[in-house]
Structure 1
């Protein structure tokens, strides 16, 4: 068994392969063991050029190597200090929370709320899929409500795409809700969502539209109603 002393920053580079990430500028010496003689994927030997090693009872293998061998590309997002494995954000898209901020939020009941996020935290839909890019609109516990969330477009965008569904916290919805979509205050689409419905992909055109509005309507009842526009994005 071979052992070797390596710097912590070198170990960081090895773990991530060519992703270009380093653990720290403050080096620390580690004692590691090169005791892995082979790696088999689907019974085929595939040993990486950067040899795996063992440290404190854990074996470390280059992340890029393993991911790409399993069919998942790896990408380092330096601006967010995030490693993306597999599907990444559409680089031609524009996202609420990153490229757009809301214009207004109107409600007819106190404590109704909205939220939108770009890669800051995650939310789940009613069947367990997780998203880090989303818009949610929530009518609060205890009653009927209408909430309208608007975003400014200023005629710059051509298309909107998202996955519409209930959030995990709203999946036990006892009565259907509706989400209305307004373009420049003109109603162009109404979606009805009930408990148990599968999330659905939605898309509509935005040519020369100055603002878009999403209006949640829910019926009276002792429950929260929350709908999500998951992976919501705009295209020019």
Structure 2
């Protein structure tokens, strides 16, 4: 189980470590292998704030590896994955340098055989002065196969608030998922929920008609927790 989790993060973590290294480096090996790594409850702190991710950092041969997407976005860099060239991109990209696949609308399936249809609307909810809005749903283009649901969290209070996923359903079937984020007062933050292919297959889901989520919002100053209304994403 630990090796499987390691495989999910190893590629992204390796690139993150290389990008943040002061010395030039190259990563060219293409292979699948099991390696012994050490999980030691490693914490990531960015500008004095602890960064929580669903991919745990680990140590391999004396080097600490971090999930590139979480760290990149935490320092204000857009992180994208270019599948044809197998390239992780931090920040802006030059279109001419990469072989680009035809662009698709963020929330629209690429063909009739896709699991996703067109997202009918992008729902939002507001509780405890925290606005949560779905900004897009698409097939994963990252390191974990599945469906990615993007959210924007806008904290309209002057107190830090914590948001985490309370429940997730696909086609009215309960699913596992993880999303945990902290938003400073009067700030906005984006985060992503990934619904894994393995969970969808286990539930016998080939075509996705709806995704529903409920969040819990905790006000760190007052100490109260409120559950949001159900956010439902329907696909035509």
The two structures have a TM-score, normalised by structure 2, of 0.31
Q: Which has the higher helix share?
A: 2
Q: Which has the higher strand share?
A: 1
Question: Greater CA radius of gyration, 1 or 2?
Answer: 1
Task: Indicate the structure whose relative CO is greater, using CA pairs within 8 Å and at least 6 residues apart.
Answer: 1
The two structures have a TM-score, normalised by structure 1, of 0.31
